[in-house]
Amino acid sequence: MRRTMLYLPGNNPNMLTRGYLFGSDGLVLDLEDAVAMAEKDTARILVRHFLRQGEFGSCEVTVRINGVDTEYWKDDLAAVIPFPALQGIRAPKVDDAATVKIIDEELSIIEEKNGIPVGRTKIFCLLETAKGIWNAYDIASASPRVAAIIPGGEDLTADLKTSRSSEGTELDWARRMLVFAARAAGVDPIDTVFPRVTDDAGLRKETEFIKQLGFEGKSVIHPNQIPIIHNVFNPTEQEIEKALKIVAAAKEAAERGQGAVSVDGRMVDIPVVKRAEYTLVKAGLLEVK
C-alpha cells in the first residue's frame, strides 16, 4: 500500500529517528530539496548510517536522490544502494525515458558491485516538468524498476508558467494524464504533496479528489497529514461489508461452476469482483495477489 509517503529531511536526525513512528506507508529520506547545498555531503553520510542501522518499522523506505543534472546523484546512489533497508529511490525531474534508463544502468552497476540482485532497487519517478508529464507513459514503462510516477507540485506549476491555487486547477490535467499513464503501464500513480500543512479541510478535499481520479496515495510533508489521507483512502465499513459479500458470492459461484452471479440484485462479473478484492486488500483483509 502506498497511501502515504512521508518526506524526511536527510540532514535532520530528529525526523530520521522518529519518522517511521508516524504510521505512513512509506518514507522518503530526502537528499534533494530539503538539504542545503553546503550540507549535501553530511546528509548523504547521515542517511547512509540510518539505512545501515536505523529503525523503519514496516514502512517502505525510499531515498530521494539529487537530479541527474547535478554532480551529486551518482554519489547519492553509491551511498544508499548497498543497504537492504532501502527499497527504492525517488528520482526528481524525470523528463523522459532516457533519464530512467540512465538511472537504471547506474543502479545495475552498483547492485552488481555490491552483490545485490540486479533489479532489486525500484524507481519512483517525479515528473516535474510539462515535458515529463507529456512523456508520462514512456517514463512509466521505461524500466521494470519503475514502481510509481508522481507529478511535481511547485516545479511543475512553475514550468507551466502559472501558480498554485487552492482548487488545483493548474494541476488538473497533469494529474489525470498521470493516472492514465501509470495505470496503462501497470505502475502506481502517487500524488504530489499538499503544501498548506495547517489546512486540514483543504487536504481532505484534495485527497478525496485525487482518490476519485484513481491515485494510489499521496506524498506527505507533515506527519499530521497522514491520518487524514488514510481516512480518505481507507474503505468504509459499508464498502468492506459489500466487498466481503461480493467476494464470497463469486467464490461460491466459481465452486458451482457458474460465471456471473447476483448480489443484492446487482450482476457481479469479474471487474466487480476485482474491485471488491482490491477494497479488501486496502482494508487489510486480503493479501495482495
Partner 1 sequence: MNTAQAGTLESMDCLVTVSEAAQGAGVKIQIAGSSAARFKSAMEKKAAEVIASMGVKDIDISIQDNGALDIVLGARVEAAVKRLIGGER
The span from the CA of 223 to the CA of 24, in Å, is 8
Q: Is 240 helix (H, G, I), strand (E, B) or coil?
A: helix
According to the binding rule CB under 8 A, does residue 205 interact with partner 1? no
Dihedral sign from CA coordinates of 157, 98, 70, 16 = positive
Alpha-helix runs per DSSP H in the chain: 13-18, 40-53, 73-80, 97-113, 130-134, 136-140, 154-159, 172-185, 200-213, 225-233, 237-255, 270-282
According to the binding rule CB under 8 A, does residue 8 interact with partner 1? no
Q: Is 8 helix (H, G, I), strand (E, B) or coil?
A: strand
Nearer to partner 1, 13 or 119 (CB): 13
Per CB under 8 A, the list member of 1, 49, 108, 180 interacting with partner 1 is: 49
Residues 54-93 contacting partner 1, CB under 8 A? 54, 75
The pairing of beta strand 261-263 with beta strand 266-268: antiparallel
According to the binding rule CB under 8 A, does residue 17 interact with partner 1? yes
Least separation in angstroms between CB 40 and partner 1: 9
According to the binding rule CB under 8 A, does residue 14 interact with partner 1? yes
The span from the CA of 147 to the CA of 205, in Å, is 26
According to the binding rule CB under 8 A, does residue 42 interact with partner 1? yes
| Contact predicate 40/67, CB 8 Å | no
According to the binding rule CB under 8 A, does residue 21 interact with partner 1? no
Least separation in angstroms between CB 5 and partner 1: 22
Pick the stretch among 43-51, 125-133, 206-214, 224-232 that binds partner 1 (CB under 8 A): 43-51
Least separation in angstroms between CB 59 and partner 1: 17
According to the binding rule CB under 8 A, does residue 12 interact with partner 1? yes
Contacts of 222 by beta carbon, 8 Å cutoff, 6+ apart: 197
Pick the stretch among 24-32, 44-52, 82-90, 215-223 that binds partner 1 (CB under 8 A): 44-52
| Contact predicate 231/16, CB 8 Å | no
Nearer to partner 1, 13 or 259 (CB): 13
Summarize as ranges the residues that interact with partner 1 (CB under 8 A): 12-14, 17, 41-42, 44-46, 48-50, 52-54, 75
